[in-house]
Structures are given as C-alpha cells and as structure tokens.
Amino acid sequence: MTRLGLLLLAAGCMSGYGTHWEATKSRAPAPPLDGNTESYGRVRESRFLRAASRPLSTFSIDVDTASYGNVRRFLREGRMPPIDAVRIEELVNYFPYGYAPPEGRSPFAVRVDAALCPWADGHRLVRIALRARDADAERRPPANFVFLLDVSGSMADRNKLPLVKRAMRLLVDDLGEDDRVAIVTYRDREELVLPPTRGDRRRAIRGAIDRLEARGRTNGAAGIDLAYRVAEDGLRRGGVNRVILATDGDFNVGVTDRRDLVDLVEEKARGGVFLTVLGFGTGNLKDSTLESLADRGNGHYAYVDTLDEARKVLADGAGGALRTVAKDVKVQVEFNPARVGSYRLIGYENRALRAEDFNDDREDGGELGAGDAVTALYEVVPRGSGGRPAVDPLRYEGDVEEPASTSGEMLFVKVRWKEPRGGESRRISVPLPDGPCEEPRGDFRFAAAVACWGMLLRESDHRGDASYGLVRRLASSAIGDDPGGHREEFLTLVKESRELAR
C-alpha cells in the first residue's frame, strides 16, 4: 500500500452551492455568496420498474466519492446541499467495507445478498458488492505520472492551489527511482514545468511544486492535450500510466464547452493512459464537468478540501487509483418476475446503461482499482410475472430448463469487465436464491443507513418511512471497526442535517 496511490483513489469529495444547480425538487439552497457560479448536472431519481415488463437493469460501476465531501461541506457551513449535489452511490461508496477479496487470479469478487428493507415494510433490500484484489506493495509496477495542475487566477484561494501544492508534497516521499513524474500547468497557456523526472529526485520535484503561482485565465483543454502527450511519450508497458488533474473545473479559454472537453478526454483515454480528477475549492467548482471528465477518461473523481482530508486519503484505502485491475466494469441484473413485482436501483442515475450495452464491448464502463469496494443497492417489491427484452436470452423465460414460476431464484447478477489493457470482455454470473430475510447487519446495515440518509437529503419520493432517527439507529449499531473515524463522523453529519431539516 502506498500513500501515493491512496491519494489518487479517494481524496475526499466535494462540490458546491450556487446559482447554476438544477433541482428536481422544490427545496432551494441558502442564498449563494456573491459571484458563486458552481454547477451540478441534473439527477433524475430512479423510479420503480415492473419486473414483468422490465426484467433487466444495467449500469456501470462507480467508485467516485465526490458527493460525500460536498454534502459534508454544505452541512459544516450550516446549509442543506442542493438536491442534485447528492449522488447516493457516492455517499455509500465513500466508506470502506470489509468485503472478502477474490480468491485465485480473478481481479475481483462478487457477493449478492438480501435483507429486509428498513424504510419500507414488506420490501427487500438487495446488495451487490464487488471487492477488487489488493495491491501488492512489494511488486508495484513502475509509474508514469503526469500531474496536470490548474494555476489560473481562479485557483489563488487558500483552499485551491496552496492546498494542491501541500497535497502534492505529501506524495513525494513515496516515489522511487523506477517511477517517472512530470508536471504540466495551464492558465492562459499550457507549460511543461517539470519534464519526466525520476521519482527519487525529490528536491527537483518539490522545487517545481513550490514555484507554482496562480494567475491568468483557464485554458484547460490545451493543458489536457499536453499532459496526455507527455504521458503517451513516456508510456510504461505493464506499468501505471496516469494523468492526475487538480482543478476547480472552471475552463474559460479555448475549448470551454463541457461536451467538447469530455470528447477530448475520451479520445485521449484510448491511448492507455488513465485519469484521476481531483476537485479543489468552492465558489466556482464545476462538479458536473469534473464528474464527466473522470467518467470518460477511465478514471476517478474525488475532492480534497483540507490537508486533513488529504491525510485521510493517504492513510486509507489500498492503492486503487495507483493500479487499475479491471476496466469497463458493467453490471446487469435480471429479476425473476415470478418472485419480484418491481424494483428500483438506488442511485447510479448517471451510470445507467441500456440493456444491450452490457454485451457491447464498445460501451464504456467503470474502472476498478486494487483494493476498491463497490456497493449497489436495489429496493425490491416481491412477486411479479413476464417480460422479454431483445437482449440476452432471459434466464427466467424462454430457453431455460426451469420455468420462472418454479425457480427458487429472486434474481441473477452478471458482471462484465476487461483487463486493464484488454479489448475483449469477460463475465462473472451470480444467482441470488429467494427465501426469508432478516434485518441487515454489519456493513450491509451501515450501507443501508447511508442510502437512507441520501434519500432524505434528496427528498426522495421513495423514502417511505425513512427518518433521521432511523438513519442514526441503523448506523450507530453498525460502526464496527472504524479506522479513521469516518463512520463516527457520519453520525455527526446525520445530526447536523437533521437539525437543518427541521
């Protein structure tokens, strides 16, 4: 486990408040500060679907954690977050879970189980959990890192470039002679301020970081182009090749349209270089842009708001951003209509895929790093019938040995992925037998508490009997082993949000 890899994986999270968020509900945020231009992409909450007519649910995994820190920031400022700043899957996946790693050579393990739904009597809560294999610290492949740092005038605030510089210094001690590090900056123009340098030349790297100053406007596209060219020129076969972008996301010179920026990153990602996006600061954070860049750049989106948060990231995790073990990871769940009446995927609205995308290797999925854990939750209403989309032959209708009406399975989970440098996908399948359920326990119980909290923050139409009291009862009885105190901090945030919601 290296501190370098850990920062690249998680790094807190955050977004902001302001005049550009589009809410799906009526709640308005507190009045924004003067000049605030933060923005969020609209999140349309998933609804219940009938298993009889829509038996397949397909989505890309997500290991981003940015929404959790964003919500935390709002609550610490004494205000509720905009509804579209709340992405429930990122809240749930912010926390480490004690899932067992895979056995053998598989890059990850898949676990599927069910429990009673705490906020809806008679409903079930289904958990799909992925756990990637751990990184081998003794056999870490050589790294080719390009730090792409925004040094425009908007980064002058103390929680932006000064914090970027302090966070970058924390990485230097983990670099070795086999690693190569370059630093590209951008403002009005792009600049290679540190050519590829051996990782053990720490004085030179620190000196380049210390000399950075914020001024000018923001030509991010030019910086992205140069950073990827530097990374591609130094590509390490069998190594870790990654651009690390640190910015507030405010691109105002050159290519400024979000779609064009995303297209640029998507094209660059085909060269085998992965992307980590670290958001910094408040006031003009472009959350939706940064999320899209990470999504299409085969990477992660996280947020660093304090040095303490950077230290937390350095101490937690398992080097996920340092080493990708599986890319284009997609999940498809087939619900047995004889056992399930309807279902709803909680969160992952921005990661939804068409059913036919699951088998299409051209369709992008999420990336899974060493040590990563991913949790997805479905709320399920028992009983149902029928359904036949024009995709995979259905397990519970048509060409199956056992008719759906007598099958003992509630659902069937398929996970498709590619090797980090592979082009053809593989598949894992796991059925979930139907049967009596109990209350969720342990990590399952805590994940349910976080999802319940997210529904309250979003004022979800599907929150049922959810309450802040229920969230606290669930979470407080599932603290367990809590390295770093993240679950205890969650209880504090639940209390703060409860008081603000009154």
pLDDT tens-digit readout, 326-369: 999 999 999 999 999 999 999 999 999 999 999 999 999 999 98
pLDDT tens-digit readout, 85-144: 999 999 999 999 999 999 988 999 999 999 999 999 999 999 999 999 988 766 778 889
Rounded-to-integer distance, Cα 413 and Cα 406, Å: 19
Whether 205 maps to a domain, the answer reads yes
Torsion, Cα of 486, 291, 376, 415 (10° steps): -130
Average pLDDT, the chain: 85
Q: What is the CATH number of the domain that holds 254?
A: 3.40.50.410
Whether 114 maps to a domain, the answer reads no
pLDDT tens-digit readout, 235-256: 998 888 999 999 988 776 666 6
Higher pLDDT, 272 or 124: 124
The pLDDT score that the predictor gives to residue 16 is: 33
Whether 96 maps to a domain, the answer reads no
Whether 403 maps to a domain, the answer reads no
pLDDT tens-digit readout, 395-431: 765 544 455 665 799 999 999 999 988 889 999 999 9
For residue 385 the two structure tokens come to 């019938």
Whether 180 maps to a domain, the answer reads yes
Looking at residues 444-460, what average pLDDT do you find?
Answer: 98
Q: Are 8 and 59 in contact (CB under 8 A)?
A: no
Lowest mean pLDDT among 44-48, 392-396, 451-455: 392-396
Specify the pTM: 0.87
pLDDT greater than 80 at residue 8: no
Q: What is the CA radius of gyration of the chain?
A: 22
Q: What percentage of residues in the chain have a pLDDT greater than 70? A: 85
Residues ≥6 apart with Cβ < 8 Å to 432: 112, 113, 114, 126, 409, 410, 411, 412, 413
Nearest partner of 475 among 446, 455, 438, 432, judged by Cα:
446
The pLDDT score that the predictor gives to residue 263 is: 87
The pLDDT score that the predictor gives to residue 5 is: 44
Whether 497 maps to a domain, the answer reads no
pLDDT tens-digit readout, 275-300: 989 889 888 888 998 999 999 888 88
Q: How far is CA 263 from the centre of its chain?
A: 20
The pLDDT score that the predictor gives to residue 128 is: 98
Pairing type for strands 108-116 and 299-303 reads unpaired
The pLDDT score that the predictor gives to residue 488 is: 97
The pLDDT score that the predictor gives to residue 250 is: 78
pLDDT greater than 70 at residue 325: yes
Q: How many structural domains compose the chain?
A: 1
Looking at residues 467-476, what average pLDDT do you find?
Answer: 98
The pLDDT score that the predictor gives to residue 126 is: 98
The pLDDT score that the predictor gives to residue 136 is: 76
The pLDDT score that the predictor gives to residue 271 is: 84
* Segments forming the whole domain that contains residue 175: 143-258+266-281+293-300
Q: What percentage of residues in the chain have a pLDDT greater than 90? A: 61
pLDDT category, 267, cuts 50, 70, 90?
confident
Whether 22 maps to a domain, the answer reads no
Higher pLDDT, 13 or 179: 179
Whether 10 maps to a domain, the answer reads no
Residues 143, 269, 417: CA angle, nearest 5 degrees: 85
The pLDDT score that the predictor gives to residue 384 is: 44
